[in-house]
């Protein structure tokens, strides 16, 4: 018996930086979320900084684009999540006082559930954003326990591990994958970030819904390749192309996730961890769940 059937959707799209584009970026996410919900998705994951675009030239420009968690993007997403009865994850440029964060919000049918602030900052993000100060929280929801990570985070295997040992049933991965040491793609058309997603999923027995953006922005070329992995780490459906708006779908369920770790009568991955020799929770200061 499956106790919680999720149909996940990883949305790949192409937001553009510039204040003149901000409303268009938001409207496009609403279109794509609606399309995913029409197809039966009840967990929709959008890329990183999807309401503002990515390539800020200056700190001032980032401030001009940023919104608080009570701002119009989260409001619009919340209304749509409520009306469609879905859960939704997306990346925003978050303003908190004078601090800017590269943030992922988790919204359910009853409103904002929580948020995660990107811990590992990539390239010029370091000139704009404050490193995340909320640890690696896992949120209880009606469809299961959801962990969040953002882009460069997955280069640090500790992140998915810390989400998994805290009981995440699914990890939502919110991305602007943009460059790795060449080659950018292998003969199968996959970028290294797709493999990082697959292996993080595999070694933790947790599905990952990874939405990346596509397109180009101020000379930066994004890599697409959005994908959803099963508990075995392999793509559960197609890996998106490097170009173009698209939505990748896959079914997930709690029974599969919570049973998946057992490999044979003598091995399961969590049991086999040698926490006598290493322990990612040692030194971990713990995540802070968003107050409801």
Q: Which is nearer to a second copy, 13 or 193 (CB)?
A: 193
Distances (CA, A) of 42 to 4, 22, 66: 11, 25, 27
Catalytic residue among 22, 67, 94, 118: 118
Other Cβ atoms less than 10 A from the Cβ of 167: the count is: 13
- Shortest Å distance, C-beta 204 to a second copy: 9
Say if residue 155 is exposed, middle or buried (CB neighbours under 10 Å; 0-12, 13-18, 19+).
middle
- Shortest Å distance, C-beta 279 to a second copy: 4
For this structure, is 151 an active site residue?
yes
For this structure, is 24 an active site residue?
no
List strand residue ranges (DSSP E) for the chain, in order: 5-12, 43-45, 87-96, 99-108, 111-117, 138-141, 144-150, 170-175, 208-212, 216-217, 220-221, 227-228, 246-253
Catalytic residue among 13, 48, 191, 225: 48
For this structure, is 13 an active site residue?
no
Nearest C-alpha neighbor of 169 from the set 1, 9, 43 = 43
Q: Which is nearer to a second copy, 15 or 233 (CB)?
A: 233
- Shortest Å distance, C-beta 3 to a second copy: 21
Catalytic residue among 13, 125, 151, 217: 151
Contact set with a second copy (CB under 8 A): 119-124, 126-127, 131, 135-136, 152, 155-158, 161-162, 180-183, 186-188, 192, 195-196, 198-200, 202-203, 231-234, 260, 263-264, 266-267, 269, 272-280, 282-285
Q: Which residues have a catalytic role annotated?
A: 48, 118, 151
């Amino acid at each position: 018996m499956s106790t919680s059937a999720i149909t996940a959707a990883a949305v790949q799209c192409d937001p553009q930086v510039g204040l003149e584009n901000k409303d268009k970026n938001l409207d496009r996410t609403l279109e794509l979320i609606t399309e995913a919900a029409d197809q039966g998705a009840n967990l929709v994951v959008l890329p990183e900084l999807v309401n503002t675009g990515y390539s800020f030239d200056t700190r001032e420009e980032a401030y001009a684009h940023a919104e608080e968690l009570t701002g119009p993007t989260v409001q619009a997403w919340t209304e749509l999540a409520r009306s469609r009865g879905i859960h939704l994850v997306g990346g925003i440029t978050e303003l908190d006082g004078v601090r800017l964060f590269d943030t992922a919000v988790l919204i359910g049918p009853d409103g904002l559930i929580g948020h995660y602030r990107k811990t590992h900052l990539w390239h010029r993000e370091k000139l704009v954003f404050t490193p995340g100060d909320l640890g690696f929280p896992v949120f209880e929801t009606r469809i299961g326990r959801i962990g969040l990570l953002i882009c460069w985070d997955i280069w640090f295997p500790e992140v998915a591990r810390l989400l998994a040992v805290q009981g995440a049933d699914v990890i939502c991965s919110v991305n602007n994958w943009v460059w790795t040491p060449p080659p950018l793609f292998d003969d199968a058309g996959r970028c290294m970030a797709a493999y990082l997603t697959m292996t993080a999923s595999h070694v933790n027995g947790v599905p990952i819904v990874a939405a990346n953006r596509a397109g180009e922005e101020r000379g930066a070329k994004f890599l697409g390749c959005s994908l959803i992995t099963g508990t075995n780490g392999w793509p559960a459906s197609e890996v998106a192309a490097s170009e173009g708006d698209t939505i990748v779908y896959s079914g997930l369920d709690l029974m599969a996730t919570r049973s998946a770790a057992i490999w044979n009568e003598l091995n399961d991955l969590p049991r086999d961890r040698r926490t006598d020799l290493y322990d990612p929770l040692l030194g971990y200061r713990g995540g802070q769940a968003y107050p409801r």
